[in-house]
Structure 1
Amino acid sequence: MNNDNVSTRSSSPVLLWLVLVVSGAVNAAGPLVGLGLVPRMVAGAIAVVTIGLLITHYVRRRRA
């Protein structure tokens, strides 16, 4: 079951995972270091968007 039309793996999933880990860490450690509500909410929103992009990348790659 080889699909020769699929391009080689790009670095975008690696970058998305890195952004997810960093934004999740900021969101989780925010109360411990005294971050305000707004930066934590922004970090949480970035994490949610990143999860959506990772799912989209996975589905598109499976269909190709």
Structure 2
Amino acid sequence: MNNDNVSTRSSSPVLLWLVLVVSAAVNAAGPLAGLGLPVRTVAGAVAIGAIALLITHYVRRRRA
């Protein structure tokens, strides 16, 4: 009774969640820490990218 169609879990979602949390924290705490606008903008872009990749991973996994 082996189910060969089940994809194995990878560490990519865990890493993406970690990147999302860290970049969102940098973006949110940036004004309090005195970070410049370019740093916060890059952190926000990284957070948006991580969200997009998490959604893509979820959709591909649901289709499989």
Judge same fold: TM > 0.5, yes or no: yes
Q: 2:49, 2:60 → 1: CA distance?
A: 16
For 1:50, give the aligned amino acid.
Answer: A
| 1:22 paired residue number | 22
Moved runs in structure 1, 4+ residues, more than 6 A?
none
Residue by residue over 1:1-24, the C-alpha shift from the partner in whole angstroms, topping out at 9 and shown as x without a partner, is xx6313210000000000000000
1:55 matched residue in structure 2 = 55
- Equivalent AA in structure 2 for residue 20 of structure 1: L
> Residue in 2 aligned with 1:45?
45
Structure 2: gaps (5+ residues): none
**In the alignment, which residue of structure 2 is the partner of 1:9?**
9
Give secondary structure in 2 for the equivalent of 1:8: coil
Q: What 5-or-longer segments of structure 1 have no aligned partner?
A: none
Give the Cα separation in 2 of the matches to 1:21 and 1:4.
33
Q: CA RMSD in A?
A: 1.0
The percent identity for this pair of structures is 84
Instruction: Normalising by structure 1, report the TM-score.
Output: 0.92
